[in-house]
């Protein structure tokens, strides 16, 4: 349980816009589920203790058996559509494009702004700019996940999936492959380094920031 509180891989300590949306969704679902649980538990206690004949069973079934769950499901559907729309990658002049290629057991990253430049298990990005990661695999299915920057997306052989990530500020952010794919998957990790503007330009020029 203490390992789950580690901030470097915590979805409830977001460090970017997409991660903030996901963290808010998590809190909304947790609070909503808790309130519904307490409401249902209260109804069960009330049903045991109420005098017989006080409430029409038909009204109880219609309002709490149909109207209430339908309202909750419609609200969840609407909220989910809004969240999904906010997470979609969109083109723009500030968008940086990188490539993430998974294999057993490493990640290789390439950069559209630095042709020929490649790094292993270390992804460099500029801070405060959206980054589209084109994710693929050369062997089996892996999963690209940087919990503090965005949700996770599968790396599928022969297919490219695009994930939008963004870091609010410069720093180091831990990532991992969140898909079981063999004996070494537990150590299939990588690090994202978000640079300030000067550091990013230094990296693109082939120097160590």
User: What is the residue range of 110's domain?
Assistant: 1-49+89-209
CA 163 to each of CA 73, 83, 122, 136, 170: distance values in angstroms, whole numbers, following the listed order: 27, 15, 17, 11, 19
Residue 80 lies in a domain: no
Q: What is the arithmetic mean of pLDDT over 178-188?
A: 80
Residue 191 lies in a domain: yes
CB atoms within 10 A of CB 24: 14
Residue 81 lies in a domain: no
- How do residues 108-131 score in pLDDT, each as one tens digit? 999 999 888 899 999 999 999 999
Question: Residue 126: which of 149, 144, 108 has the closest Cα?
Answer: 149
Residue 54 lies in a domain: no
Cβ–Cβ under 8 Å, residues 19 and 27: no
- How do residues 186-199 score in pLDDT, each as one tens digit? 788 999 999 999 99
Q: Tell me 53's DSSP state.
A: T
Residue 156 lies in a domain: yes
Question: Residue 94: which of 2, 17, 4, 206 has the closest Cα?
Answer: 17
Task: Lay out the sheet containing 118-120: strands in order across.
Answer: 118-120, 106-111, 96-103, 131-137, 161-165
- 147 HSE (CA, 13 A, CB side): 17
The structure tokens listed for 64 are 């709490």
What percentage of the chain exceeds 70 in pLDDT?
A: 92
**Can you tell me which residue has the tokens 């991660």?**
19
When pLDDT is cut at 50, 70 and 90, the band that residue 1 belongs to is low
pLDDT above 70 (res 208)? no
Residue 102 lies in a domain: yes
DSSP structure string for 138-198? SSS-EEEE-TTT---EEE-BT--EEEEE--SSSEEEEEEE-S--STTGGG-EEEEEEE-HH
Residue 27 lies in a domain: yes
Continuous segment of H or E residues that includes residue 134: strand 131-137
Give the chain's domain count. 1
Residue 208 lies in a domain: yes
CATH number (domain holding residue 179): 2.60.40.420
- How do residues 2-17 score in pLDDT, each as one tens digit? 555 667 788 888 999 9
């Amino acid at each position: 349980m203490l390992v789950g509180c580690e901030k470097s891989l915590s979805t409830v300590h977001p460090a970017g816009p997409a991660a903030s949306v996901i963290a808010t969704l998590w809190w909304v679902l947790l609070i909503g589920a808790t309130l519904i649980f307490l409401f249902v538990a209260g109804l069960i206690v009330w049903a045991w203790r109420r005098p017989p004949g006080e409430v029409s069973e038909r009204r109880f079934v219609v309002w709490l058996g149909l109207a209430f769950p339908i309202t909750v499901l419609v609200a969840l559907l609407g909220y989910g559509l809004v969240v999904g729309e906010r997470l979609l990658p969109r083109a723009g002049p500030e968008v940086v494009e990188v490539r993430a290629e998974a294999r057993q057991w490493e990640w290789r990253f390439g950069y559209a702004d630095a042709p020929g430049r490649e790094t292993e298990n270390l992804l460099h990005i500029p801070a405060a700019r959206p980054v589209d990661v084109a994710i693929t695999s050369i062997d089996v299915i892996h999963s690209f996940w940087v919990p503090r920057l965005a949700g996770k997306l599968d790396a599928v052989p022969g297919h490219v999936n695009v994930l939008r990530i963004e870091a609010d500020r410069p720093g180091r952010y831990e990532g991992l492959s969140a898909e079981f794919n063999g004996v070494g998957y537990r150590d299939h990790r990588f690090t994202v380094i978000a640079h300030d503007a000067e550091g990013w330009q230094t990296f693109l020029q082939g120097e160590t920031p």
